[in-house]
Amino acid sequence: MKAFTYSIDVLSACNLRCPSCPVENMREVPTPKNVMSPEAFEAAILKIKGETPGPVKIDLYNWAEPLLHPDLPRLIAIARRHGLPVGLSANLNAWGGLEEVLRQGPESFQVSLSGFFQETYGRTHAGGEIETVKANLRRLRETLARLGGRTRVRVTYYCYIDNLGEDYRRMRDLCRSLGFTFLPLWAYLMPVEKLLDVYEGRPLTAQDHRLLALLAVGPQEARAARKASSPDCALRSRRTAINSDGSVALCCAVYDRRHNIAPDFLAAGFAKLQELKYSHPLCGRCMAHGVHDLFLFADLAAWNRIAAARIRPRSVPWGLRRVGWYLAVKRRLERSALARS
């Protein structure tokens, strides 16, 4: 049985200002500044463990940078003590207490980036320093080797039209040399609210338009590439997002807290939260436009064909084509299983 995942933002801060992310492109939206205490975190973990049917996984990230949390090793230790696997994701521009974090044995660690050279990386990971990231990747490998750690490391490389050449090859080769999984994916505009602005005809900012010009597959092209909209969304059926103040977001892909489904995770039961997700009007609008399929890369093989025409004479990297084929087969199998059920 596939694990139900809880995405928990253990604080509400990030050290970068990426134009594809709502931390930067939705600055006007009020976001309370919070740091989740170990006590509040453990209370949430106990509730999760006690009421979630089936296996559970904890992701200590959503929109924020978890390595900025001063008690992150303690949080991981709490989850591990209660038998729950933990995943982390970071931009790795800060090391902080990462060695102690790794001592606690997180199951997985994802590093998100978008270039090998500062000129390209700095456009889409604004405020970041790629040389710091590369140094920390090497330090990460050395630390895991020294500690005998079994944390799986994946580097997710977000592909734009300007980082598919030498940037792509050099970062791929660095990851291979360090023994880290290198996963290329096409970049897209986040969050759900921004994509709905595009699809429902509301104006975007100049910064949004600059970001769209860097995408190999734009939102309208992505929507046109859909073969069939999935009848459900794994981001609501198999995942719950908890904010740093303990409130519950509609979805891990929705940013504005006015769409929250509950003010206090501890006071709302599992079944009730699922009911609130499925009845929320924003969820219906998202599904109607197929945004749920976009966020899950359901049509990545079709995106590859669209991107190939745009980036010519360059070709779509083999890694992206391989991921596209894998996801296409996975989608067919899931739809076949759904049809039989």
What pLDDT was estimated at residue 339? Answer: 56
- pLDDT 10s digits, 254-302: 999 999 999 999 999 999 999 999 999 999 999 999 999 998 888 888 9
Alpha helices in 8-97 (DSSP H): 22-25, 38-51, 72-81
Single-letter amino acid, residue 42: E
What pLDDT was estimated at residue 174? Answer: 98
Nearest partner of 287 among 199, 204, 220, judged by Cα: 199
**How many angstroms separate the Cα of 188 from the Cα of each of 63, 203, 253, 280?**
15, 17, 12, 24
What pLDDT was estimated at residue 329? Answer: 79
What pLDDT was estimated at residue 341? Answer: 55
What pLDDT was estimated at residue 225? Answer: 87
This prediction's pTM: 0.95
Task: Give every residue of the chain whose pLDDT is below 50, as ranges.
Answer: none
What pLDDT was estimated at residue 338? Answer: 54
> E-assigned strands of 206-305?
239-242, 248-249
Where do the domains of the chain lie, and which CATH numbers do they carry? 4-214+233-296 (3.20.20.70)
What pLDDT was estimated at residue 337? Answer: 61
What pLDDT was estimated at residue 340? Answer: 63
Dihedral-angle region of residue 6 (phi above 0 means left; psi in -120 to 50 means alpha; beta otherwise): beta
What pLDDT was estimated at residue 335? Answer: 63
